[in-house]
Structure 1
């Protein structure tokens, strides 16, 4: 009897790792009359090499008459993984596989024949998936993704009735600073300023000492988002914005400072800067629809001219 040798195939290598680990054990917690789940140990001695091509492969799990083989699931093992990690991954996979078979068996037993007839659903899904994949490939080759500022402006001017704000928006500066900060009083002096040198001084103070500091890159942002940073909610956002340019609020730990540089109220026309990225997405989506529609018409006419289509209902 010769000592067991390891073949070069990936299947054999993983079997050998499982053997070396000594971790292969029965899973007793799933006790069902028709479900057998076990990990198989390989013998350290054999009269031939490990799992030669002539020898039948042994399953690594069984359930309801179904058998799962290691060669079917080699892709679950990342390259270069050690034996202990490989065995753990295998054990987790097999337990999941067995649990799935348990649920599948219950479904098979409790659903009617009509309910279990999923062939058409599978075919419809396959059809939709293949068409989608082909369309995406076509779009990646043909779609013009460059959108000029003139195109954005033209769309904005032509669709103002559809660009109404659903919520109030602001351009604002926000500071959250500890009540014990030595810079607090100086920050309170500067946060409402529009002078470049004072804004620079405020930046330096807040970047070093504030718990949070944001001027939102001078971009329009939802007022709801800004208020989410402050433990204060006005009864009416619109009334607050009309009557206040700034907000100072203090709790036991922090002082919150908000300077509103500009605002647009709910129901007003959205500024172009606020809608720019959304407009670009709409233009891009419109181009996609046109390309796909043209592709469908072109392919349909080609097939019709070649005599590959017939409609028998007039």
Structure 2
């Protein structure tokens, strides 16, 4: 009877207080189902979906009623207190976030970032190996292979200009060696290293040349930082910025709480009785 009564277009009918399910003194009404149906369901699928929803609702209500009957009053009172505290926290934190989003300056200067980092450098340890590198992957029969190899290893300004003119001829490449990359990403980037992941490769000023069935890899490792070493500023910068933003937010939040309390006292909304 329930499946035949509920269809995909029942929500379009005038809303009434007609109940479609009951568990003890708890009722589920048609209007409670508004908006729960996924789009593009057939009539049959809609009926099945709604029926499952009703059964799940009923199960939850039965469990809740049984819990209220069987759990000790002290435990129920504790849960009610936790619910009230959680609700209060949700409302107050959401309101403070709304206000702070409008008021807080999210711009953190490079000077502030550098100062904080220098004063707390020992707290920023690497949890993974980092590497700066550049590489080129080209055809085995590339006509100027030795020249490309020399330019990649030497990498003077003139070499960089020369290599940039040849990039369209490379199978793959990365010439930006100023950015720290995790060792995991390093191994994933270079196909012939992917299966080995040998830490012997991670040595400063190391040059690797390796052939595979399709071409030749030329890899120059510039710098390496190992796990548990101090992190470089450029790598730690996003974390430092977030720390400074959180501190600023906390300070503004405290100031905001003081201001609204003062305002409530001023307008006789808050009184302490002796």
The two structures have a TM-score, normalised by structure 1, of 0.64
Match of 1:220?
Answer: 180
Output aligned runs, 1:35-184, within 5 Å: 38-40=3-5, 58-59=18-19, 61-62=20-21, 64-65=23-24, 66-76=26-36, 85=42, 88-89=45-46, 91-106=48-63, 108-109=65-66, 112-114=71-73, 115=75, 118-174=79-135
Distance across 2 between alignment mates of 1:176 and 1:63: 69
Match of 1:231?
Answer: 195
CA gap of 1:92–1:248, structure 2 versus 1, over 3 A, is farther
Match of 1:308?
Answer: 270
Q: CA offset at residue 124 of structure 1?
A: 1.4
Quick check: 2:6–2:50 contact (8 Å CA) kept in 1? no
Q: Tell me the C-alpha RMSD between the 2 structures.
A: 3.9
Gaps of 5+ in 2: none
Q: CA offset at residue 121 of structure 1?
A: 2.4
101-110 or 143-152, which moves further after superposition?
A: 101-110
Distance across 2 between alignment mates of 1:91 and 1:57: 22
CA gap of 1:156–1:262, structure 2 versus 1, over 3 A, is same
The structure, 1 or 2, with the larger RCO (C-alpha pairs under 8 Å, 6+ apart) is 2
Match of 2:167?
Answer: 203
SS at match of 2:270: coil
- Higher-helix-fraction structure: 2
CA gap of 1:108–1:255, structure 2 versus 1, over 3 A, is farther
CA gap of 1:52–1:144, structure 2 versus 1, over 3 A, is closer
**Structure 2 residue 237 is matched with structure 1 residue 276:** yes
Count the aligned residue pairs: 255
Q: Deviations over 1:47-92 (max 9, x none)?
A: xxx9778xx6544x425345433222222357xx66x547634532
Q: CA offset at residue 223 of structure 1?
A: 2.3
Distance across 1 between alignment mates of 2:245 and 2:56: 45
The two structures have a TM-score, normalised by structure 2, of 0.71
